[in-house]
């Protein structure tokens, strides 16, 4: 309904057309070129949750890719990020704090806090619950303390140094502070 309302507003000239459209996931049932052909009234088109094999055939038609990327989720480094760079596709990382893991929201051996992402959707980061990841988080916490900052600011600054942009979702105003610190401390 919103898309149709947007198109009607564009036709009436009451609103400028949206500047960007995003395919949120690869659908193997529909040829991706058909999906892209259906997008109208967009200055830019992006795709999300695409692998390198899914992105390669359309890299010349999309301007940005939005995938999960963080210090703990780095699968795109081998093929997706180089493919983006080679084709001028901007990379936008979502979940740069890995669902709160890199913000220090979880403690080894303790239950997940009620209402946290891990208590609500534990499957997303089930693979993080390994001793190696907990050890890394301990090192990140110590590094942040030594620098006089917090884990989230370090993790966000790290991501900003490697990708074109990040998507954050602060629930409260104080959650925005680490992002502002990261932006100020990165060279981007």
Number of domains in the chain: 1
Stretch 11-37: mean pLDDT, rounded? 81
Q: Find the helix or strand (DSSP H, E) in which 94 lies.
A: strand 90-94
Kindly report the pTM of this predicted structure.
0.82
Specify the CATH number for the domain of residue 178.
3.20.20.100
Stretch 134-162: mean pLDDT, rounded? 94
pLDDT at 116 over 60: yes
Which residues lie across from 47 on neighbouring strands?
23, 65
Residue 163 belongs to a domain? yes
Stretch 179-186: mean pLDDT, rounded? 70
Query: What number of other Cβ atoms are within 10 A of residue 110's Cβ?
Result: 7
Residue 11 belongs to a domain? no
How would you class 106 by CB atoms within 10 Å of its CB: exposed for 0-12, middle for 13-18, buried for 19 or more?
buried
Residue 172 belongs to a domain? yes
Contact 83, 55 (CB under 8 A): yes
Stretch 109-114: mean pLDDT, rounded? 88
Lookup: tokens for 131:
């001793």
pLDDT for 58-71, tens place per residue? 999 999 999 999 99
pLDDT at 110 over 60: yes
Query: What number of other Cβ atoms are within 10 A of residue 141's Cβ?
Result: 15
- What is the rounded distance in angstroms from the CA atom of residue 120 to the CA atom of residue 86? 38
Percentage of residues of the chain with pLDDT beyond 90 = 57
Residue 1 belongs to a domain? no
Where residue 68 falls (left for φ over 0; alpha for ψ -120 to 50; beta otherwise) is beta
How far is residue 72 CA from its own chain's centroid?
A: 13
Question: Residue 54: which domain range?
Answer: 19-185
Residue 8 belongs to a domain? no
Residue 13 belongs to a domain? no
Average pLDDT over all residues of the chain: 85
Provide the CB-side half-sphere exposure for 76 (13 A, CA).
30
């Amino acid at each position: 309904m919103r898309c149709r309302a947007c198109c009607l507003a564009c036709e009436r000239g009451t609103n400028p057309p949206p500047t960007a459209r995003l395919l949120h996931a690869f659908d193997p049932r529909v040829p991706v070129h058909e999906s892209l052909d259906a997008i109208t009234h967009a200055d830019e088109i992006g795709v999300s949750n695409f692998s390198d094999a899914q992105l390669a055939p359309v890299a010349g038609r999309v301007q940005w890719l939005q995938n999960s990327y963080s210090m703990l989720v780095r699968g795109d480094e081998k093929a997706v990020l180089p493919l983006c760079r080679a084709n001028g596709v901007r990379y936008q990382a979502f979940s740069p704090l890995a669902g709160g893991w890199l913000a220090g929201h979880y403690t080894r051996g303790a239950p997940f806090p009620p209402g946290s992402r891990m208590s609500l959707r534990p499957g997303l980061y089930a693979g993080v619950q390994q001793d190696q990841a907990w050890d890394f988080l301990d090192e990140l916490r110590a590094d942040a303390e030594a620098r006089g900052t917090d884990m989230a600011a370090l993790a966000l600054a790290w991501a900003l140094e490697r990708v074109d942009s990040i998507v954050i979702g602060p629930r409260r105003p104080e959650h925005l502070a680490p992002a502002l610190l990261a932006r100020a401390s990165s060279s981007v």
